[in-house]
Amino acid sequence: MKRHLRRNYQSTACLFVAIFCTQLITACGFSKTNNTLKRDTLMTTEQHKTREIYLAGGCFWGTEHFFKQVVGVVATEVGYANGKIKNPTYEQVCTDKTQFAETVHVVYDPEKITLTKLLEIYFEAIDPTSINQQGPDRGSQYRTGVYYTDPDDRSVIQAFFDHKQRHLNDHIAVELQPLKNFYKAEDYHQDYLEKNPNGYCHIPSSLFEYARKANK
């Protein structure tokens, strides 16, 4: 009888401890579900604050590094935009037969930098009248282009292009198109010049200093 009562007491005590621990874990926010919801909420909030634009400016190693210097740019990623095949590789893009442009996906904070200001800085890093060439790099993959995901951005970009055209003798060769597709480039291309400080870059190093100061 005593053994039976002791066993009942132990079971009750264990049940109480289990319930208490469960409530404590939930209250402290250690629930996997709660953490997921909280993380998703934060991601949604951050995404709501930022905007994006896709910019092709020749070899994406230098173009990405250039934009990483700009105050207001919060993230960059290099890849291949507006081509005609799925999941292209770097080797395929370099054949000049896929119609992809080496492109930088730029995510920026509109409270710190406007799209127009970002375009002004972009035009300093390119030759806007050159067709399929930036620096020594030649081929359609090295063409310049501004690719948007928000239709409202088109009028802003067009107004900027019109303004720049009035100050140029040659026609602007920079594409202005909606983004049709974008495939992230291989990992070794991401942040290339941070991983390889002495690596190839078609953009003069002096322009990186310009980019750091351009939006201060």
Residues with Cβ < 8 Å from 203, sequence gap 6 or more? 58, 62, 63, 65, 66, 125, 135
Burial (CB count <10 Å: 0-12, 13-18, 19+), residue 185: buried
Contact 69, 211 (CB under 8 A): yes
3-state SS assignment for residue 55: strand
Give catalytic residues, as residue numbers: 59
Contact 157, 115 (CB under 8 A): yes
Exposure string (b/e) for 62-96, b if CB count within 10 Å is 16 or more? Answer: bbbbbbbbbebbeebbbbbbbbeeeebeeebbeee
Residue 135, token pair as written in the block:
């620096």
